Amino acid sequence: MEKAKISLIRTFGRRRGKKLSARQRNLVDAVLPALLPADKEGGGAILEIGFGNGEHLILLAEQNPDKIIIGAEPFENGVAQLLAKITGEQGLVMPQYKNIRVWPDDIRKMPALGGSRFDCIYILHPDPWPKARHEKRRLLSAEFLKTLGTLVSKDGSIIVGTDHADYYDWILEQAKSAGLKIKARGGVAIKTKYQEKNLSGSKRTMYLALFPKA
């Protein structure tokens, strides 16, 4: 099977925030290396790109104990917060989260990505980069979506959520250019910390389900 070509481009988001606590620093140094994804884990796994603080990734792990759950997040503080949530006092990953793997960088740089086939790929609240001069920084370009379409299984899907109307419309056009089938996704909202921050305002999260064409 020919491996998908992954574009390695510059990551524009923040890499670090405030200084990590001693426990968080230790988890990143001692626990994270053992959680890096392996090539063999791509088949049938679930991938979340940009998992933030890890709330949804943890839920995925709990709901799918028989699947490998891979999270990609370049923001070190988010990675550290996830590690703190899935480990006990002794710094060991709790049994219910043994299926979690973490890639602490841009997903396009993950060596295990090429040739993988995921059952589902989630991308929730990616940075919309609303200014016109920053549009090229948007993650969900037609080129990237086309790549993701080659990484989901035959019956797999790509779930995208955003509360930014202009970005939603832009993603629709990019998905069409990428040759993906598109369905508006209703149902229960996928709750994350980012979404909760916006519940007090008028923003509503809109979801898309994208599918590779047969």
- HSE-up of 163 (CA within 13 Å, CB side)? 17
Q: What is the 3-state secondary structure (H, E, C) of 53-115?
A: CCHHHHHHHHHCCCCCEEEECCCHHHHHHHHHHHECCCCCECHHHCCEEEECCCHHHCHHHCC
Which residue among 29, 39, 105, 127 is the active-site one?
Answer: 127
Q: Of 205, 157, 150, nearest to 181 (Cα)? A: 157
Assess contact for 190 and 154: CB atoms under 8 A.
Answer: no
Q: What is the gyration radius of the CA atoms in the chain, in angstroms?
A: 17
Distance (Å, rounded) from C-alpha 7 to C-alpha 106? 11
Look up 106 and say whether it is catalytic. no
Assess contact for 66 and 44: CB atoms under 8 A.
Answer: no
Helix (H), strand (E) at residue 168: helix 165-177
Distance (Å, rounded) from C-alpha 87 to C-alpha 175? 38
Catalytic residue set: 127
